């Protein structure tokens, strides 16, 4: 069996990529759990029979016309009410640059 060694620095990198703040202890715990989980799921390599090339399956596009929109403004209030911070009908966010 292949033994993965997930280190705390790997978890740190993943946490940064997925925008998750984590403490050192949490990252150490995750590193340990990931070893056992990844070793388990690595069984995908032990399958019986030939694995085909990755295929797209029976996928097809399902299109619909971009028509009959909501009446303008009909949903504005319910949607803006969910904004954590708003100014009038605008969503207020911090300066980007």
Partner 1 sequence: MIDLKKLTIKKAHEDLKSGKYTAVDLTKAYLENIEKKDGDIHAYLEVYEDCLERAKVVDRRIKNGEMTALMGIPLSIKDNILFEGHIASASSKILENYRATYDATIITKLKAEGAVIIGRTNMDEFAMGGSTENSAFGPTKNPHDLSRVPGGSSGGAAASVASEMALGAIGTDTGGSVRQPASFCGVVALKPTYGAISRYGLMAMGSSLDQVGPIAKTVTDVEILFRALQGPDKYDATTISYVVNDLPEKTKLRIGIPREFLKTEGIDSEVLKNFEEALQKFRLLGYEIKDVEMPNLPYALSAYYILMPAEVSSNLARFDGIKYGLHKDGQNVVEDYFLSRRAGFGQEVRRRILLGTYVLSAGYYDSYYNKAVALRELITTEYKNAFEEVDIIVTPTSPIPAFKLGEKSNNPLEMYLADIFTVPVNIAGVPGLSIPSGFKEMDGKKLPLGIQLVSAHQKEEILFRAGKDFLEEN
Distance CA 37, CA 40 (A): 5
Distance CA 92, CA 84 (A): 8
36 to 75: interface string for partner 1, x by CB under 8 A: xxx-xxxxxxxxxx-xxxxx-x----x-x----------x
- Produce one character per residue of 44-57: b if its CB has 16 or more CB atoms within 10 Å, e if not: eeeeeeeeeeeeee
For residue 45, the minimal CB distance to partner 1 (Å) is 6
Q: Enumerate binding residues for partner 1 (CB under 8 A).
A: 10-11, 14-15, 17-22, 30, 33-34, 36-38, 40-49, 51-55, 57, 62, 64, 75, 78-79, 81-85, 91, 93-96
């Amino acid at each position: 069996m292949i033994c993965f060694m997930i280190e705390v620095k790997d978890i740190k990198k993943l946490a940064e990529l997925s925008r998750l703040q984590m403490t050192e202890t949490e990252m150490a715990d995750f590193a340990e759990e990931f070893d056992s989980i990844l070793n388990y799921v690595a069984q995908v390599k032990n399958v019986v029979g030939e694995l085909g090339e990755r295929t797209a399956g029976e996928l097809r596009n399902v299109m619909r016309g971009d028509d009959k929109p909501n009446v303008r403004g009909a949903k504005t209030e319910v949607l803006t009410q969910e904004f954590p911070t708003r100014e009038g009908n605008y969503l207020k966010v911090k300066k980007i640059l």
